[in-house]
Amino acid sequence: MRYDKNGIFLHSSCSALLKTLFFLALMLVGTISCRWLPGGEKKQPVRIGAILSLSGTGSHLVDVRDAMVMAAEEVNAQGGIDNRKIELIVEDSKSSPVEAEKIFLRLEEQEKPPLLYVSTLSSVGMALAPLAARHQVVLMGLVTSAPQFAEQGKWVFRDYTNSQEETRVAQRILDTLKVRQLGIVHLDDPYGNSVAKLLGQSFAATGGSVTAVAFAYDVTDLTPQIETVRTMQAVYVVGLVGHIRLAIRQLRQAGYTGHLIAASGAANPQITEMAEAEGVFVGIPLVYNEDFLFARQFKNNYQARFGKPFSHQAANGYDCVRMIAGLLEGNEVSRQNLQFLLSHGFLYSGVQGDYELKAGSQEIMMPLYPARIDHGRLRLSQ
């Protein structure tokens, strides 16, 4: 167990080999320092390539960038990672897998490419995963829920919730509401399709009837989809924040009076602050729990720094940087060693609650809890 200045961080599921290597690393600090400090030069920064959705359909994920910047500044102000500064290389994928691939390859051609990459959106992450494997570099997928992403080999890790967790909390809400007829309106991409399929199977297994209808990534009018599900006892919406906003608004305009349930994206302030979102059920991470002190401190600092409400997507970016800093503290900074450390698992307490990466897994799971939007605020269900 180890705590460090970069936040509460501890290894759990580590093998005896990793523990032995950790103590050897402490004994060999001088040797490692000499390796990274030829001639007494300043230590090289820890470079993180952040290929984020700053424009396009996923433009709301600019929050991820802002929080990553805040976390890097905090770590650097505390001395960095063993006196190495974190250097964020932020690039806009424009929410496009093709654009993201171009950025990745360009960064790899630099004299000093990033130690690891961070991406947002399932479609972008799926496009970058083969490149990460080819170049043997860790790729962390934030706001990336498609199940297939975590199946792309040892260099690819999801740091977010997943489709199974979205399904679990949605099914719990449906059971509580005693829903027997469910309409699912979902984005036609790996994320939306996987949640729709898993939830449909889960709900049907309880004896309920399901009607699912998809929409395109660039949809601007959901009238046909709404007509298909408007007689259902409940409607579940899954997609990006902009899609969920559109669906909720149009469902209300169509006079829908059944239960509205949405994927975790609906916890974003862009949705909770909508008048039409009143009463919508949603799965949320613990960062929205006002009794969680660590999360409240992050919320206050983020809002003071950027002058806007925080979101769990922002918290995802913040926790990712702090987590990587804690993992590398006292350890060799290299692509191979970072993958080695991740492969042996850890526990981490961040602003989103407790994360666990089990040894041999590619999933750093962010758990969700059932909640309801009440006058612009998220209320956890009892």
> How many Cβ atoms from other residues are within 10 Å of residue 260's Cβ?
24
- Cα angle 369, 371, 372 (rounded to 5 degrees) comes to 165
* Closest C-alpha among 97, 88, 100, 94 to residue 61: 94
- Taken in order of first residue, the domains within the chain and their CATH numbers are 9-161+290-368 (3.40.50.2300), 164-284 (3.40.50.2300)
Rounded-to-integer distance, Cα 172 and Cα 186, Å: 19
Cα separation values, 314 from 62, 120, 144, Å: 8, 11, 13
pTM of the model: 0.80
Q: Among positive and negative, which fits the CA dihedral 333, 340, 163, 194? A: positive
371 DSSP assignment: E
Q: Are 133 and 149 in contact (CB under 8 A)?
A: no
pLDDT digit string (tens) for the chain, length 382 residues? 444 544 434 444 444 444 334 333 433 333 333 333 444 457 899 999 999 999 998 898 999 999 999 999 999 999 999 999 999 999 999 999 999 999 999 999 999 999 999 999 999 999 999 999 999 999 999 999 888 899 999 999 999 989 999 999 999 999 999 999 999 999 999 899 999 999 999 999 999 999 999 999 999 999 999 999 999 999 999 999 999 999 999 999 999 999 999 999 999 999 999 999 999 999 999 888 878 888 889 999 999 999 999 999 999 999 999 999 999 999 999 999 999 999 999 988 889 888 889 999 999 988 899 999 999 999 998 6
Residue 103's alpha-carbon distances to 26, 108, 127, 146, 327, in angstroms, are: 36, 9, 12, 22, 26
CA distance 18 to 344: 8
Amino acid at 249: R
